[in-house]
Amino acid sequence: MKKLGFGLMRLPLLDNDDKGSIDIDQVIPMVDLFMQRGFTYFDTAYPYHNGHSETTFREAVVKRYPRESFTVTDKMPIWDINSADDMERIFNEQLDRCGVDYFDYYWLHALNKNYYEKVQQFDAFGFILKKKSEGKIHHIGFSFHDESSLLEKILTEHPEAEYVQLQINYIDMDNPTVEAATCYDICTRHSKPVIVMEPVKGGSLAKVPDKVEELFKNINPDMSIASWAVRFAASLPNVMMVLSGMSNLEQVDDNTSFMQDFVPLNDEEMAAIGSAAATIKESIAIPCTACHYCTDGCPMGICIPEYFAIYNSIKQFGKDQQWMNAITYYRNLSNTHGKASECLQCGQCEGHCPQQIPIIENLELVAQTFE
């Protein structure tokens, strides 16, 4: 397979306030271009787009292409598992939603310390191994969001995992929370190929400070800014696939153009990446990737990632350039969502955040800035 996968978690919407309102008329040409250029790997999950990502995959891909022409990954939502019966029910529901008889890749979703305890309690690895023996899964693994020591523990206790999905991008390699480089090295040592998520860090590495953009353009003026992030991840020797959550046809066109005949970064480009990372780290206030795991179940309906994005734009580009736009965006969002100051500090968001961001504390900063 080519090394680029289509992540179905940031699809174009008919209504930006409704994550389930996927614009299928935009998705279909995106899928067609992706397939026409020889790419086959699609990645979906039970909660993406309020459950509509899987059905959109069925309509845009499964009903329009032969089963042997594509590969699909889906995931078991461990946070929704409260009994062994839940796993069977959800798995069958996913097969039905996706319109397939088997998953090429299937894994346990977003393992951390708490979720791994549930995995052990309900023998979730045993469940996916059973489905593999039945031919309903071809390859099994897990995605991971926690300390590297836990990753070491899981791979030691479950060598049956065939691969691991990690958040890897050139900003997070030495991030003490994400520990991307350490986790990558652990997988390599255990001979487990890595699938990369968030190579562009939720789109934030497609919008870099002017100094970084100038650096990249001086080396290769024809390459997009986002391409540097995707190519960095794909250049790592033990990476088998890099996912990109593409939202429009232009992003599909760009990503497939440079990944069609992928060329790893050379020494000069790697050095530029190091310089870029140092510059960007100075400007990112809140390392949010806009995965929206935090918003599911928020009792006040606070649009946390959107507020953080506005706050980051102020910190990155300065009030002189962004202040009026930021105020307008914040007011518009807070008319239909909870304000940052209305946070009840219940903590459910922090329990679901893959980046382990102190969300409550940062919402207070947002409120102080915009309210």
* 117-162 tens-digit pLDDT: 999 999 999 999 999 999 999 999 999 988 899 999 999 999 999 9
Do 240 and 194 meet the contact criterion of CB atoms below 8 Å apart?
yes
Predicted local distance difference test score (pLDDT) of residue 17: 81
Only one residue has tokens 């190579």, namely: 199
Burial category of 368 from C-beta neighbours within 10 Å (exposed 0-12, middle 13-18, buried 19 and up): exposed
246, 30 contact by CB (below 8 A): yes
160's CB contacts (< 8 A; 6+ apart) are 125, 129, 140
pLDDT in tens, 196-239: 998 998 888 898 888 999 999 999 999 999 999 999 999 999 99
3-state SS class at 233: helix
Q: Quote the Cα angle for 252-254-257, to 5°.
A: 100
Distance CA(318)–CA(30), nearest Å, equals 35
Band (pLDDT 50/70/90 cuts) for residue 261 is: very high
- Residue 209: other Cβ atoms inside 10 A: 16
β-partners of residue 165 are 143, 195
Is the per-residue pLDDT at 319 higher than 80? Answer: no
Strand positions, DSSP E, the chain:
4-7, 41-43, 71-76, 103-111, 137-144, 163-167, 194-197, 239-244
Of residues 100, 263, 154, 283, the one with CA closest to residue 208 = 283
3-class state of residue 108 by DSSP: strand
332 or 42: which leads in pLDDT: 42
So what's the pLDDT on residue 314? 76
Q: What pLDDT was estimated at residue 329?
A: 73
Tell me the average pLDDT across 56-81: 97
> How many angstroms separate the CA atoms of 322 and 317, rounded?
7
Radius of gyration of the chain (CA): 20
Between residues 146 and 10, the one the model is more confident about: 10
Across the range 46-60, mean pLDDT stands at: 97
Task: Please give the structure tokens belonging to residue 107.
Answer: 């894994």
Q: What is the pLDDT of residue 201?
A: 84
Instruction: Provide mean pLDDT across the span 342-360.
Output: 93
Give me 84's structure tokens: 């062994």
pLDDT tens readout for residues 95-120:
999 999 999 999 999 998 889 999 99
CA distance 269 to 289: 24
Q: Which fold is adopted by the domain 4-281?
A: TIM Barrel (3.20.20)
Residues 97/131, Cβ–Cβ less than 8 Å: no
Residue 320 has pLDDT above 60, yes or no: no
Of the pLDDT bands very low, low, confident and very high (cuts 50, 70, 90), residue 321 is low
Instruction: pLDDT band for 317, please (50, 70, 90 cuts).
Output: low
Residue 76 has pLDDT above 90, yes or no: yes
pLDDT at 357: 92
pLDDT in tens, 158-177: 999 999 999 999 988 987 66
Average pLDDT, the chain: 93
Euclidean distance between CA atoms 253 and 293, whole angstroms: 28
Express as a percent the part of the chain with pLDDT over 90: 77
Residue 194 — very low, low, confident or very high, per pLDDT cuts 50/70/90?
very high
CB atoms within 10 A of CB 259: 22
What whole-number distance in Å separates Cα of residue 70 and Cα of residue 112? Answer: 30
End-to-end CA distance of the chain: 49
362: tokens are: 């940062």
Domain ranges of the chain: 4-281, 304-370
